[in-house]
């Protein structure tokens, strides 16, 4: 029998602590190891109760969430931490600081804490799956392994060195766009990869990162400051151009439309797909319809299966797909689903992702020009 996941809940609100405790305890796989009203109490309790994962509020007296996170990671670097954040501009700012300082992920609090039903549903939908995903010992005992870790890492190394036949055949076609899908762990992964791209990256980039409104705005601003390429939150009507990236705004699906002069961004509030809006599948399908065999897509770290159907469309149109490997994914859900569906042309570690984007654009563009001039 698999042991339960032991959770330490850290929040200065008695109401929130009780709500989280009661809701999480309804899941037979979860056990509440303890609660704490602030960071100091939490740090004192950890060696006594040995939690598997910690949920940490941002704003608390005496020792706030960021200060607690920094100290916790010094003392207990292997304990996963999920931040509880408010859906505000200040909350978005603090959340990205927390992710940069070692938090695994975040969950947003309902705007109206008095809405108990909404709060409970939010915990069940958002928090519970993440608690299970970050406890690797739990997921390894409840899901069948795909392959051994050593075999997986060998496969990852080999696929970055030699592209399989499907990708070598695809090299006959140039690349005109890069489409990226990411979820859990995506903000840091995107920052790592996009910062390696030169300002003259020869194609446009469109990105879906599963995040709520305001959070995507702030993420785009931070990436734009850190990257050589331009990074913005997408606005309906934006015209795609090389050396720039657009992030789908939280709450909106992003699609593309080609008119007589350019390819432009469109946004809509149609129903979520895979419980997500924006959805990777929606973006990838649209990109494949516009760019066909000249599409390159990357599926990066994240929970769930969003992106599989979109990758099917990309492959059906002759495009290519790169998936992030298990070893460097915070949660190997979305890339794993694409790989298991046999849709990935390459599986690469995060630190090699940008290198592949550059190689497959610059080299292919050169080859295409040489072919045309002969």
Helix 215-226 with 186-194: angle, nearest 10 deg: 20
E-only strand ranges, 103-252: 105-108, 177-182, 205-209, 230-233, 244-247
Catalytic residue among 156, 210, 253, 294: 210
The two three-digit tokens of residue 337, written as one number = 């689903």
233 within 8 A of 220, measured Cβ to Cβ: yes
Q: Is 369 helix (H, G, I), strand (E, B) or coil?
A: helix
Active site residue 151: no
Backbone angles phi, psi at 296, to 5 degrees: -120, 130
Catalytic residue among 306, 325, 329, 345: 306
- Which residues sit opposite 296 in a β-bridge? 178, 320
The two three-digit tokens of residue 197, written as one number = 């791209």
Close Cβ partners of 44 (under 8 Å, ≥ 6 residues apart): none
Active site residue 85: no
The two three-digit tokens of residue 188, written as one number = 């840091």
Residue 251, Cβ neighbours under 10 Å: how many? 15
Active site residue 257: no
- Angle (nearest 5°) at CA 313 between 307 and 316: 140
- Contacts from 64-68 at CB under 8 Å and sequence distance 24+? 64/39, 65/10, 65/39, 65/94, 65/98, 66/94, 66/97, 66/98, 66/101, 67/39, 68/10, 68/38, 68/39, 68/42, 68/43
Catalytic residue among 85, 183, 286, 329: 183
User: 3-state SS of the chain: helix, strand, coil percent to 5?
Assistant: 45, 20, 35
Q: What is the DSSP code (8-state) at residue 240?
A: P
249 within 8 A of 216, measured Cβ to Cβ: yes
* CA-wise closest residue to 83 among 116, 73, 145, 372: 73
Q: Is the dihedral of CA 57, 62, 67, 72 positive or negative?
A: negative
Q: Which residues are catalytic?
A: 183, 210, 306
């Amino acid at each position: 029998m698999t042991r339960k996941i032991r959770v330490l809940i850290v929040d200065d609100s008695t109401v929130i602590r009780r709500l989280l405790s009661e809701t999480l305890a309804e899941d037979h796989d979860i056990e509440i190891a303890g609660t704490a009203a602030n960071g100091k109490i939490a740090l004192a309790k950890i060696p006594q109760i040995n939690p598997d994962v910690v949920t940490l509020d941002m704003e608390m007296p005496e020792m706030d969430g960021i200060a607690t996170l920094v100290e916790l990671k010094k003392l207990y670097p292997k304990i996963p931490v999920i931040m509880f954040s408010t859906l505000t501009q200040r909350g978005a700012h603090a959340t990205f600081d927390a992710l940069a300082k070692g938090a695994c992920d975040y969950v947003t609090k309902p705007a109206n804490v008095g809405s108990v039903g909404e709060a409970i549903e939010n915990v069940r939908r958002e928090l519970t799956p993440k608690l299970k995903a970050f406890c690797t010992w739990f997921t390894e005992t409840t899901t069948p392994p795909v392959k051994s870790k050593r075999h997986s890492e060998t496969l990852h190394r080999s696929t970055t060195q030699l592209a399989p036949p499907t990708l070598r055949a695809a090299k006959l076609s140039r690349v005109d766009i890069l489409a990226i899908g990411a979820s859990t762990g995506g903000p840091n992964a995107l920052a790592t990869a996009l910062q390696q791209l030169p300002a003259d990256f020869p194609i446009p980039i469109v990105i879906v990162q599963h995040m709520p409104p305001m959070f995507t705005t702030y993420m785009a601003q931070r990436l734009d400051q850190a990257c050589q390429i331009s990074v913005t939150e997408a606005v309906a009507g934006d015209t795609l151009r090389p050396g720039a990236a657009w992030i789908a705004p939280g709450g909106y699906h992003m699609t593309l439309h080609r008119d007589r002069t350019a390819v432009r961004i469109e946004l809509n509030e149609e129903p979520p797909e895979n419980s997500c809006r924006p959805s990777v599948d929606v973006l990838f399908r649209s990109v494949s319809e516009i760019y066909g065999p000249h599409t390159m897509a990357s599926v990066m770290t994240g929970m769930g299966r969003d992106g599989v159907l979109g990758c099917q469309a990309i492959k059906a149109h002759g495009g290519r797909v790169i998936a992030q490997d298990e070893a460097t994914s915070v949660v190997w859900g979305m890339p794993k689903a694409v790989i298991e569906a046999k849709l990935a042309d390459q599986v690469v570690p995060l630190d090699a992702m940008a290198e592949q984007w550059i190689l497959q654009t610059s080299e292919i563009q050169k080859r295409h020009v040489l072919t045309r001039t002969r």
